[in-house]
């Protein structure tokens, strides 16, 4: 018989209370509207309960967990090489970026370091994952605002990036290419030249988006001044990545922290925007895509030669210890806290996903806005459901 701790009891009571809060259908006045869990704007199964006064939101609360897949618990019953294939599926659009911090954490525990060539290729693929992810956002934001066309351009040009990832790793969405101490195999011949042409395509796509959306007066009226996040509030709620950079906070883990990955060898810029509204978030991400194409090109130009795999035992056992590694993923700060007791798999893994923290600001942010702005704000915060619920 399992012992129920006081903490678990308290958590249960709190959960019941939260359920009761969102399940109240009709209160004194206004209308309670469930946006989701099956709603086109929540790209997945996020449920947002809003109370409306006319079209104005009086109160909002996001309810997540409809797609909880239990990855933190699953990692405890999997070996280290098996975990990478699981964590691929957390943020399914930029999936390569998910496996990197986990592998880095495992390498930190084992005290091995992948050879430089492997680190450079990792970084390049990391940025390709960012491209695949944010390109889709650039189009998707248009759809959420009613413009159907941009998302098709996004799908069209993301295809080039996905093809590159597939050509190198074998998987379009789930690369599973990182190994502890290196990579699965080296790049195929001719890959670098293909990447160059794809990068220029992505830059053309950015120009197109600038003409089609950013410069569009309707888009500006819909996004300027909507969903304003002051830097202090954003930091309090734990916003990260482009969301906080759009509020003027100049913070990028890729640049500010020392990591074995190869960003420090590249010349690139962290873009910020002072406004903190939906437009700023879109604009910052657009610039990020451009920077990412530059990073990829520089990395491949200076790709060092040599091995791609450090010496590791065939059966990987990680010594006991704890490690925390975070990186600046397409959606924001993603980190893994891995606790090992010396077994074949982690004893405990805590996954810090950016989307979960990013949507926690919603109750604060949605108060007083109109229903269409709810959608704009959701789109501009840019979450991936798998990244919220894990």
Q: Is 267 in the site for another protein (CB under 8 A)?
A: no
One character per residue 45-74, x = contact with another protein (rule: CB under 8 A): ----------x-------------------
Of 12-20, 284-292, 302-310, 317-325, the window that binds another protein (rule: CB under 8 A) is: 302-310
Q: Is 86 in the site for another protein (CB under 8 A)?
A: yes
Task: Using alpha carbons, select from 101, 99, 102, 93 the residue that is nearest to residue 173.
Answer: 93
Q: Is 192 in the site for another protein (CB under 8 A)?
A: yes
One character per residue 198-217, x = contact with another protein (rule: CB under 8 A): ----------x--xxxxxxx
φ/ψ of residue 179, rounded to 5: -125, 155
φ/ψ of residue 48, rounded to 5: -120, 120
Dist CA 265 CA 344 (whole Å):
34
**Residues in Cβ contact with 40 at an 8 Å cutoff, skipping those fewer than 6 apart:** none
Q: Which is nearer to another protein, 213 or 239 (CB)?
A: 213
Of 277-285, 303-311, 329-337, 351-359, the window that binds another protein (rule: CB under 8 A) is: 303-311
Dist CA 361 CA 378 (whole Å):
11
**Residues in Cβ contact with 314 at an 8 Å cutoff, skipping those fewer than 6 apart:** none
The nearest distance, CB 328 to another protein, in angstroms, is: 26
Contact in structure between 343 and 256 (CB atoms under 8 Å): no
Contact in structure between 285 and 137 (CB atoms under 8 Å): yes
Residue of the chain from 15, 65, 70, 188 that contacts another protein (CB under 8 A): 188
Q: Is 144 in the site for another protein (CB under 8 A)?
A: yes
Q: Which is nearer to another protein, 143 or 161 (CB)?
A: 143
Q: Is 196 in the site for another protein (CB under 8 A)?
A: no
Task: Using alpha carbons, select from 288, 231, 238 the residue that is nearest to residue 263.
Answer: 288
Dist CA 70 CA 367 (whole Å):
31
The helix or strand, by DSSP H or E, that contains position 162, with its residue range, turns out to be: helix 149-169
Q: Which is nearer to another protein, 269 or 317 (CB)?
A: 317
Dist CA 378 CA 331 (whole Å):
13
Q: Which is nearer to another protein, 131 or 239 (CB)?
A: 131
Contact in structure between 351 and 76 (CB atoms under 8 Å): no
Q: Which is nearer to another protein, 15 or 188 (CB)?
A: 188
The CB-side HSE value for 28 (13 A sphere, CA atoms) comes to 1
Q: Which is nearer to another protein, 192 or 235 (CB)?
A: 192
The nearest distance, CB 88 to another protein, in angstroms, is: 8
Please, which of residues 364-383 interact with another protein by CB under 8 A? 370-375
Residue of the chain from 82, 113, 201, 265 that contacts another protein (CB under 8 A): 82
Contact in structure between 94 and 84 (CB atoms under 8 Å): no
Residue of the chain from 119, 123, 176, 329 that contacts another protein (CB under 8 A): 176
The nearest distance, CB 179 to another protein, in angstroms, is: 9
- Can you give the binding site for another protein, defined by CB under 8 A? 31, 33, 39-41, 55, 78-79, 81-82, 84-86, 117, 142-149, 152-153, 156, 159, 163, 166-171, 174, 176, 184-192, 208, 211-222, 303-308, 370-375
């Amino acid at each position: 018989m399992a012992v129920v701790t006081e903490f678990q009891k308290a958590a249960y009571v709190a959960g019941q209370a939260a359920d009761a809060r969102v399940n109240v259908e009709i209160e004194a006045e206004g209308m309670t509207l469930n946006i989701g869990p099956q709603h086109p704007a929540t790209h997945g199964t996020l449920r947002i309960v809003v109370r409306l006064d006319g079209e104005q939101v009086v109160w909002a609360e996001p309810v997540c967990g409809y797609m909880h897949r239990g990855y933190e618990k699953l990692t405890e019953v999997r070996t280290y090489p098996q975990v990478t294939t699981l964590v691929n599926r957390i943020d399914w659009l930029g999936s390569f970026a998910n496996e990197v911090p986990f592998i880095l954490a495992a390498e930190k525990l084992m005290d091995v370091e992948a050879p430089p060539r492997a680190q450079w290729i990792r970084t390049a693929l990391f940025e390709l994952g960012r491209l695949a992810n944010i390109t889709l956002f650039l189009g998707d934001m248009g759809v959420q605002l009613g413009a159907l066309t941009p998302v098709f351009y996004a799908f069209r040009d993301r295809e080039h990036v996905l093809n590159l990832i597939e050509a190198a790793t074998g998987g379009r969405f789930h690369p599973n290419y990182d190994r502890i101490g290196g990579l699965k195999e080296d790049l195929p011949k001719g890959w670098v030249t293909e990447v160059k042409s794809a990068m220029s395509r992505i830059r053309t796509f950015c120009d197109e988006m600038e003409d089609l959306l950013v410069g569009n007066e309707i888009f500006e009226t819909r996004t300027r001044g909507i969903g304003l996040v002051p830097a202090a509030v954003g930091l309090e709620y734990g916003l990260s990545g482009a969301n906080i950079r759009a509020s003027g906070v100049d913070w990028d883990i890729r640049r500010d922290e020392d990591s074995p990955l190869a960003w420090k060898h590249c010349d690139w810029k962290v873009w910020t925007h002072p406004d903190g509204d939906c437009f700023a978030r879109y604009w910052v991400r657009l610039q990020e895509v451009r920077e990412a194409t530059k990073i990829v090109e520089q990395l491949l130009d200076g790709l060092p030669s040599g091995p791609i795999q450090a010496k590791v035992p065939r059966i990987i056992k990680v010594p006991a210890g704890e490690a925390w590694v975070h990186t600046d993923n397409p959606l924001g700060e993603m980190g893994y806290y891995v606790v090992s007791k010396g077994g074949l798999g982690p004893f405990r893994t805590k996954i810090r996903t950016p989307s979960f923290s990013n949507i926690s600001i919603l109750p604060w942010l949605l108060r007083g806005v109109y229903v269409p702005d709810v959608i704009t704000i959701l789109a501009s915060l840019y979450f991936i459901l798998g990244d919220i619920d894990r």
